[in-house]
């Protein structure tokens, strides 16, 4: 008998998504840019997971992390198609067929690819829409500044495209180092990123801030690139990816991590981050509504604080999948904050205590494709 069963009711409809599906456009389309990096809440054709295996850093805790991936696979595949990449997808398929309902299994596409690791957010395509055929932008992933091997992960995107799984135009930017977790788009001309990551000399060291801003505008159709200069997360390998700290949301909102404990090492940096966020405006020069997320209580392994953050959630069709850390009070505060940001979405918590042991979380593990990209 499977461990996962269908929910007792259909997920609550996202009204903007329903409008798009019925009419072929998005509500308030006049405020959207003709060409844009698709925001995460844009209607999706699929989500990608790059599956953990014994050849990755997960080898010493594979059962725990696979349990988390099975839960992610279920929550995604009951709502939309799921693309699973792994060196041996036959093993993954057999595992999931034992436990997932048929509705979910019917929504899964598999592709065999050699992989170094599992962080699809950072080696996956970044998709630009609005100019006709979706543009599938393939950037160089250098293992977060040369910290880890990434050659196999760098080759995944081209293999997916060459296999005929994706509709769109392949665009190589393999001469430029960029990870999906380092940028956020609102679909209306604004990109949000961090100086600590993009200006780090371990990425694109020949470019200064002005040059990088111009590159982001060119690649993603942005007119308003916001650089966050403060905030970090202990135990983070990414040099402060934006998706660990602050996220753009629909209706001109930003959710962000706030630390209220003055004895916590993050307190001052996150206080400065909040102050700077209050100065930011969108492409129409309007200030953002800020919605605070709680700071997760410290979790340690072998004396090292792990990077637990509630900002690392994933938006899918009609739902927000958000990480939980076995901290009932904080987990509930995070749910309420995300409900405020996404009132028409179901909120689904997934225990990500296993993921943070390799210094990532839920959003880091996934990459979405906008509507019209995955062939299924």
Across all residues in the chain, what is the average pLDDT?
A: 92
pLDDT at 271: 98
Mean pLDDT of 70-98: 98
pLDDT at 150: 84
Q: Which CATH architecture has domain 15-370?
A: 5-stranded Propeller (3.75)
Sign of CA dihedral 227, 231, 233, 236: positive
Residue pLDDT, tens place only, 284-307:
999 999 999 999 999 999 999 999
Percent of the chain with pLDDT over 70: 91
Q: What is the pLDDT of residues 114-123, one digit of tens each?
A: 999 999 999 9
pLDDT the model gives residue 147 = 85
Q: Which residue has the higher pLDDT, 176 or 144?
A: 176
* CB distance 336 to 243 below 8 Å: no
The residue that leads in pLDDT, 176 or 132, is: 176
Show me where the domains of the chain are located: 15-370
Higher-confidence residue of 35 and 146: namely 35
- pLDDT tier at 309, thresholds 50, 70, 90: very high
Residue 312: name the closest of 264, 361, 262 by CA: 361
For residue range 210-267, what is the model confidence (pLDDT) as tens digits? 999 999 999 999 999 999 999 999 999 888 999 999 999 999 999 999 999 999 999 9
Does residue 83 have a pLDDT over 90? yes
pLDDT of residue 268: 98
Residue 3 pLDDT level (bands cut at 50, 70, 90): low
**pLDDT, tens only, 5-51:** 666 554 443 444 444 444 444 434 435 557 999 999 999 999 999 99
Quote the pLDDT of residue 17.
44
What number is the average pLDDT over the span 63-73?
Answer: 98
What pLDDT score does 2 carry?
56
């Amino acid at each position: 008998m499977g461990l996962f069963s269908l929910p007792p009711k259909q997920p609550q409809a996202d009204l903007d998504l329903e409008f798009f599906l019925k009419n072929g456009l998005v509500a308030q389309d006049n405020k959207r840019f003709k060409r844009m990096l698709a925001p995460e809440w844009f209607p999706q054709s699929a989500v990608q997971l790059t599956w953990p295996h014994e050849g990755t850093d997960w080898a010493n805790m594979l059962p725990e992390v696979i349990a988390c991936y099975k839960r992610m696979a279920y929550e995604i595949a009951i709502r939309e198609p799921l693309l699973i990449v792994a060196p041996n997808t036959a093993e993954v398929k057999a595992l999931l067929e034992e436990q997932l309902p048929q509705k979910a299994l019917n929504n899964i596409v598999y592709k065999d690819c050699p992989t170094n690791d599992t962080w699809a957010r950072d080696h996956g395509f970044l998709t630009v829409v609005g100019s006709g055929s979706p543009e599938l932008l393939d950037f160089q992933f250098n293992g977060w500044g040369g910290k880890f091997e990434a050659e196999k992960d760098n080759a995944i995107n081209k293999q997916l495209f060459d296999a005929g799984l994706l509709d769109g135009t392949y665009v190589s930017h393999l001469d430029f180092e960029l990870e999906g977790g380092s940028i956020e788009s609102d679909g209306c001309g604004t990109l949000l990123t961090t100086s600590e990551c993009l200006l780090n000399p371990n990425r694109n060291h020949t470019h200064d801030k002005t040059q990088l801003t111009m590159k982001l505008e060119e690649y993603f159709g942005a007119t308003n690139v916001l650089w966050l200069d403060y905030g970090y997360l202990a135990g983070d390998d990414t040099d402060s990816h934006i998706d660990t700290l602050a996220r753009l949301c629909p209706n001109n909102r930003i959710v962000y991590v706030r630390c209220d404990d003055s004895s916590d090492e993050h307190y001052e940096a996150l206080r400065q981050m909040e102050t700077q966020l209050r100065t930011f405006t969108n492409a129409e020069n309007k200030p953002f509504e800020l919605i605070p997320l709680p700071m997760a209580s410290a979790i340690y392994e072998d004396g090292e604080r792990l990077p637990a953050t509630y900002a690392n959630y994933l938006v899918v069709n009609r739902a927000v999948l958000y990480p939980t850390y076995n901290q009932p009070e904080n987990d509930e505060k995070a749910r309420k904050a995300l409900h405020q940001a996404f009132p028409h979405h179901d909120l689904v918590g997934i225990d990500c205590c296993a993921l943070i042991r390799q210094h990532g979380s839920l959003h880091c593990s996934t990459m979405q494709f906008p509507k019209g990209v995955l062939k299924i």
